[in-house]
Amino acid sequence: QSVLTQPPSVSGTPGQRVTISCSGSESNIAGNYVYWYRQLPGAAPKLLIHRNNQRPSGVPDRFSASRSATSASLAISGLRPEDEADYYCSAWEESLGGPVFGGGTKLTVL
């Protein structure tokens, strides 16, 4: 059972917009930065969004994110087949002294 709650899977067709939710609590998302990582099959996680809604250099503006109180969300617009991957949210957990992660959401592009 992950500390942050994500839907196990989402799907969409090419060109569509999908969102992935991430639900936490006062001890993690509220008051701490949220990060989003993308993990392609068989690959390492890669930073997609940092500090709630900031895109690192090289990440297209099709990816956007927001945070509100104890939850966050990632939006992907203009869906492409290569977006198929697992997406993880993460935030600092006060009781742990380190980051916690969501269980991951598998995005399928139909």
Residues that bind other proteins (CB under 8 A): 2, 32-33, 35, 37, 43-47, 50-51, 56, 88, 90, 92, 96-104
Collapsing DSSP to helix, strand or coil, 16 comes out as coil
CA 109 to chain centre: 16
Residue closer to other proteins (CB basis): 16 or 54 = 54
Closest separation between CB of residue 16 and other proteins, Å?
25
Q: Which is nearer to other proteins, 5 or 19 (CB)?
A: 5
How deeply is 53 buried, as exposed, middle or buried, from its count of CB atoms within 10 A (0-12, 13-18, 19+)? middle
Residues 6 or more apart whose Cβ sits within 8 Å of residue 26: 70
Closest approach, Cβ 67 to other proteins, in A, equals 13
**Smallest distance from other proteins to CB 88, Å:** 6
For 81, the 3-state DSSP assignment is: helix
Task: Name which of 81 and 97 has its Cβ closer to other proteins.
Answer: 97
